[in-house]
Structure 1
Amino acid sequence: MALVRIEGDDLVVLIEGLDKLWALKSRLTIPLTNVRGATVDPGITTDPKGIRAPGTRVPGVIAAGTFHRDGEKVFWDVKDPSKTVVVELADEEYARLVLQVDDPRATVALVENALI
């Protein structure tokens, strides 16, 4: 699971627990100027992920780490699709972040309010 927070002018994603091991990352810091928005999107978990490198994927159980598809890099950290938030990015290493969070609606509100 991921913890999303705003620190100054940055969106900070902290990867918690064993997900650090599966995703091979513990923290992502993205300038808010490069965040386009966030949405609750449990359906994205059924989309093809692409090539995993590096990370972990067990279909129906976990997708964590960096996935490459159609020329884009997407960071995933999801076990429970019902708690999925997608953060769209511009001019960053990743095109989007697909994250499992404790409260998807509150996380989207946090991100969207920071962009105002």
Structure 2
Amino acid sequence: MNTVSINSQHRLLVIEPRGLDKLWGFVRTIDIPIDQVRGATHDPGVIEDYKGVRGPGLGIPGHKWAGTWRKDGERHYWNVTGGKTTIVIQTTAQRFQRLYLSVENPRTTVDLINTALTDQNQR
């Protein structure tokens, strides 16, 4: 599971894996400037998609995906358990072009991110 928040002062999207997910995914936190975020969606079916080549990370098919995957020349970060609460965040950032995350409230989290983008675009 992950905590997703917006740091308004620094205009950052902040993703923090919880518990052992930090270890399995080799990530403590991911900070992405809001102007490098393209959008977020709730996509529980994405867990069934081909993920690419793993490295480093953990992959237990049908249950847990945590870490970096490379697919179609892009780097993606996965930290998904199960799949029902999965959101996908698209970015233009150098480190990860897509983030696949399990969150407690997917609709609320997607709305938080997309509202921050709308606010950013109105500046």
TM-score normalised over the length of structure 1: 0.97
Which of 30, 33, 45 is residue 31 of structure 1 equivalent to?
A: 33
Match of residue 53 from structure 1: 55
Distance in 1 (alpha carbons) for counterparts of 2:93 and 2:25: 22
User: What stretches of structure 2 of length at least 5 have no aligned partner?
Assistant: 119-123
**Conserved 8 A contact 1:34-1:92:** no
Match of residue 15 from structure 1: 17
Tell me by how many angstroms 1:107 deviates.
0.2
Q: Secondary structure at the match of 1:115?
A: helix
Tell me which structure has the larger Cα radius of gyration: 2
Aligned-residue Cα RMSD (Å) equals 0.8
Q: Work out the number of aligned pairs and report it.
A: 116
TM-score normalised over the length of structure 2: 0.92
- The range that moved more, 89-98 or 104-113, is 89-98
Q: Which amino acid aligns with 1:2?
A: N
Distance in 2 (alpha carbons) for counterparts of 1:96 and 1:20: 18
Tell me by how many angstroms 1:93 deviates.
1.6
Distance in 1 (alpha carbons) for counterparts of 2:116 and 2:90: 14
Q: Which runs of 4+ in 1 moved over 3 A?
A: none
